[in-house]
Amino acid sequence: MTAVLEAHGFGKRYRRRTWALRGVELVVPEGSITALVGPNGSGKSTLIRSWIGFERATEGRLSTGGVDPQRDRKAAVERVGYVPQTPSLYRDLSVAEHITLAGTLRDGFDEAMAARYVGRLSIPLRAKAGELSGGEGAQVGLALALATRAPILLLDEPLASLDPLARREFLHLMVEAVRAAGATALLSSHVITDIEQACDRLIVLGKGHTLLDLPIAEAIAHHRIVEGPPAEAVRLAGADALIGSFPAPAGEPLSLVRTPALVPVGTEPIGRAATLEEIVIAHLAAGRRRAADAARQAEGVAA
Amino acid sequence: MSLRGALLSFRIQRFESTVVVFAALLSVAVSAVVITLFYGGGYASCFGNDQPVLSSLCQSTPAEWLPRIARLSLALVPIFPVIGGLLAGGPIVARELETGTARLAWSLGPSRLRWFAQRVVPIFLMFLVACFAIGVVADSLLHLVQPTVAIDGSFVGYRARGLLIPTLGLVVASIALAIGALTGRTVPTIILTLMLFGGLIAAADTVEKKVLLGEAVVGGDFQYSENNLWLDSKFLMPDGRVMSWDEVIAEHPEFNEFGWDESSGIQPVALYIPGARYHDVERREAAALLAIALAFGCLATVAVLRRRPR
Ligand SMILES: Nc1ncnc2c1ncn2[C@@H]1O[C@H](COP(=O)(O)OP(=O)(O)OP(=O)(O)O)[C@@H](O)[C@H]1O
Ligand SMILES: [Mg+2]
């Protein structure tokens, strides 16, 4: 496995405020499509911006396609197609002019490909960016990023402003382009159901650090929802850990447990497979609980 | 840098480019019309003499209005490099940072230097050409309004015509460019640029006056003409020393009470730079201003290379 995006002991603090990210250890393998999820303010955008050299690391080290984005930002940008979280098109330029502009700024930018993508998304080339809807603007941003033919795609919440159908099309286009080019993509998102279809890896960021980093198939295989009180659920499922429990509308609470992937021969797996959304939510809640416990403990020590 | 890139730069800054080009074209057109009518209609003969000419031609409406328009245009000339410089240089980086388009441009283009050159060079070239045109127009209009003034040998209209118009314009535009790249906001850029430019001009004035005083010619009032650049009025003592009034008083306290006495042999003199040195002084100031503009250009480049998009 070759890693194209790496973070080692990475930390970022804005000015004199608290840390946005700290001690992040991540490796994104080549050819994967990775989803980066986490609550608001967990540092997803910060991490993505740092990989393209837009933010300086306060501590630790990053690697973007084998180069340190802080030392050699130019080489890092060359390897990346980026869609920022907030749309950033030139209001007065048409879509076609954006494509031309990209062509003048980047060697090897595929203008024909960009025009083709825009056409597939049925956005008129002559339309001014200022007259596009938020979602259309995001789609133009993706078309531009894809047409860079960069080996790495960093997409910061590209789905946020899209309707369900547009989300489907967008992901379809992205997956197709990434697979065709053998590229690697990392996209942050809050829409977990869509991610499940498009991505093969999942990274969950809690406040400032990684809670989960594994292939999605593995996540699904290792988590089950079991009915009953938490302790009972863990015992029944032969699980190694209880991640969290949800109140159920009727009857017993539901517990999300982590199980070994392989169940002994002849035994039926207990409960049902967890959805990705349930897994993410349970891990986020667990992360928050741990953080609160740690804070209480620190207070106790101080007192 | 490609032609396509240059054209897109104008498209991105369409409003500002239009204003600058339109103002310059309007100024050139109006002046051309005024100058053509003035000389073609023979009104020039009405001016430049000591006595007013009382012909019907010289008392007609055009004879009155053509110089009036010319004077008004001349009065507007010094504003152009300032407003134009703010419009040309201010938004280039500031607005792209403010609206977030820098994020797109800097992620599409690996070389920020290339982006910067593509954005700055066409706009600055356009603005400089406009300034040159305005500078030449100002020379011609000054000649029309004050026919006795030798355009190439006079300090009349200093800093408000000729070569110093594009140079001053370049200084304003470079300051605005640099402050825009540092602050990433348009309105503070305009305010700070105006303040900094004002301070800079005041400082340059002080330094220049010091330098020129060292080179000044000392002459009696009779040698002084409007073409010269007056610097100071002093007193020439019988022994050849040049003193200020305060210094004279210190030596001759009696003058303070009874006034100054012709028979004392003390002569009032003017310290000035002769008009013949106009281009010489103008070019030197242009070179100094160019260096300042270059410094701010470098500052802007460093800011663009180092800063993060907002
Ligand atoms: N430019 C900045 N200056 C100061 N603090 C910042 C800046 N950008 C982000 N932060 C802080 O860093 C933290 C992480 O922000 P970031 O934008 O990376 O979160 P995010 O995970 O992308 O959130 P969201 O899901 O809302 O997009 C937040 O607490 C935020 O307040
Ligand atoms: Mg974000």
B222 pLDDT higher than 60: no
Quick check: CB of A43 below 6 Å from ligand 1? yes
Bridge partners of A37, per DSSP, are A204
Strands A201-205 and A33-37: parallel
Q: Whose CA is nearest to atom 4 of ligand 1?
A: A14
Q: Is A277 exposed, middle or buried (0-12, 13-18, 19+ CB in 10 A)?
A: middle
On the CB side of A277, CA atoms within 13 Å amount to 7
Range of weakest confidence among A78-92, A226-240, A257-271, B58-72: A257-271
Angle (CA) A244 A246 A250, round 5°:
150
The two three-digit tokens of residue A41, written as one number: 């303010």
Range of weakest confidence among A162-171, B44-53, B103-112: B44-53
pTM beyond 0.90 = no
Edge to edge, the sheet with strand B242-243 lists B217-220, B267-273, B229-236, B242-243
Mean pLDDT of A57-71: 90
Instruction: Please report residues of A whose CB lies closer than 8 A to that of B309.
Output: 54
Q: Is A141 touching B (CB cutoff 8 A)?
A: yes
Confidence of residue A1 (pLDDT cuts 50, 70, 90): low
**A88's tokens:** 């950033």
pLDDT at B196: 94
Residue numbers of A between 173 and 232 with CB closer than 8 Å to B:
none
Name which of B196, B226, B204, B193 is nearest B286 in CA terms: B204
The partner residues of A225 in beta bridges, in order of sequence, read A256, A272
Beta-carbon contacts of A217 under 8 Å, excluding residues fewer than 6 positions away, are A200
Angle at A93 between CA A89 and CA A98, to 5 degrees: 65
**Phi-psi domain of A23 (left: phi exceeds 0; alpha: psi -120 through 50; beta: other):** left
Instruction: Report the pLDDT value the prediction gives residue A264, as an integer from 0 to 100.
Output: 62
Question: Does the pLDDT of residue B54 top 70, yes or no?
Answer: no
**Confidence bin at B121 (pLDDT 50/70/90):** very high
The type of residue at B273 is: I
C-alpha dihedral, B288 to B294 to B298 to B304, nearest 10°? 130
Residue B138 burial (CB count, 10 A)? 25
Whether A100 sits inside 8 A of B108 (CB atoms) is no
Nearest to A27 by CA among A228, A287, A213: A213
Would the CB of A48 count as within 6 Å of ligand 1?
A: no
**Gap between the Cα atoms of B310 and B308, Å rounded:** 6
B5 touching A (Cβ < 8 Å): yes
Mean local confidence (pLDDT), A1-12: 86
| C-alpha closest to that of B255 among B241, B269, B242, B265 | B265
Nearest to A175 by CA among A200, A211, A150: A200
Query: What integer is the mean pLDDT of B19-24?
Result: 91
For all residues of chain A together, what is the average pLDDT? 84
Does B59 have pLDDT greater than 80?
no
How many CB atoms are located within 10 Å of the residue B15 CB?
A: 10
Give yes or no for residue B294 having a pLDDT over 90: yes
Q: How far is the CA of B126 from the centre of ligand 2 (A)?
A: 39
pLDDT tens per residue, range A113-140? 999 988 888 888 998 998 888 888 888 9
Q: A217: which 2 tokens?
A: 């198939």
Which ipTM score applies to this complex?
0.86
pLDDT of B224 reads: 63
> Who wins on pLDDT, B189 or A208?
B189
Cβ-defined contact of A74 to B5 (cutoff 8 Å): no
Backbone angles phi, psi at B117, to 5 degrees: -65, -40
pLDDT higher than threshold 60 for residue A21? yes
pLDDT digits (tens, 9 = 90+) for A224-244: 787 777 777 767 766 677 777
Q: Which residue has the tokens 């977990």?
A: A192
| Residue located via tokens 């609980």 | A289
Q: Tell me how far apart the alpha carbons of residues B14 and A69 are, in angstroms, rounded to a whole number.
A: 34
CA B29 from centroid of its chain's CA atoms: 21
Ligand 1 contact via A69 beta carbon (within 6 Å):
no
**Amino acid letter, residue A207:** K
Give pLDDT tens digits for B234-293: 888 888 788 888 888 887 777 777 776 677 777 888 888 888 888 888 899 899 999 999
> What's the mean pLDDT when you consider all of chain B?
86
Q: Which residues of chain B neighbour A87 with C-beta distances below 8 Å? A: 100
Q: Which residues contact B2 (CB under 8 A, 6 or more apart)?
A: A104
The whole-number average pLDDT for the span B197-206 is 90
Which residues have CB less than 5 Å away from ligand 2 (the ion)?
A 44-45, 85
- Give chain A's domains with CATH numbers: 3-215 (3.40.50.300), 222-302 (no CATH)
Indicate the SS3 state at residue B147: coil
Instruction: State residue B86's pLDDT score.
Output: 93
Looking at residue B150, the DSSP 8-state letter turns out to be: -
Query: What per-residue confidence (pLDDT) applies to A302?
Result: 65
> Is residue A251 over pLDDT 80?
no
B81 CA distance to ligand 1 middle (Å): 41
Q: Could you tell me the end-to-end alpha-carbon distance of chain B, in angstroms, rounded to an integer?
A: 26
DSSP letter for each residue of chain A: --EEEEEEEEEEE-TTS-EEEEEEEEEEETT-EEEEE--TTSSHHHHHHHHTTSS--SEEEEEETTB-TTT-HHHHHHTEEEE-SS----TTSBHHHHHHHHHHHSTT--HHHHHHHHHHTT--TTSBGGGS-HHHHHHHHHHHHHHTT-SEEEEESTTTT--HHHHHHHHHHHHHHHHHHT-EEEEE-S-HHHHHHH-SEEEEE-SSSEEEEEEHHHHHHHEEEEES-HHHHHHHHT-SEEEEEE--SSSSPEEEEE--SSPPTTPPPPSEEPPHHHHHHHHHHHHHHHHHHHHHHHHHHH-
Assigned token pair, A231: 């302790």
From the list B19, B144, B157, B23, the residue with the least C-alpha distance to B90 is B19
Q: Is the pLDDT of residue B40 over 80?
A: no
User: pLDDT digits over B130-179, tens only?
Assistant: 999 999 988 888 888 787 788 888 888 888 888 899 999 999 999 999 99
Higher pLDDT, B199 or A221: B199
Alpha-carbon distance B267 to B245, whole Å?
11
pLDDT at A36 over 80: yes
Helix B112-145 vs helix B14-40: crossing angle, to nearest 10: 20
Burial class of residue A139 in the structure, from the number of CB atoms within 10 Å of its CB (0-12 exposed, 13-18 middle, 19+ buried): buried
**Would an 8 Å CB–CB cutoff place B111 in contact with chain A?**
yes
Indicate the DSSP class of residue B307: S
Q: Per the CB < 8 Å rule, is A84 touching B105?
A: no
pLDDT at B273: 84
pLDDT above 90 coverage of chain B, percent: 40
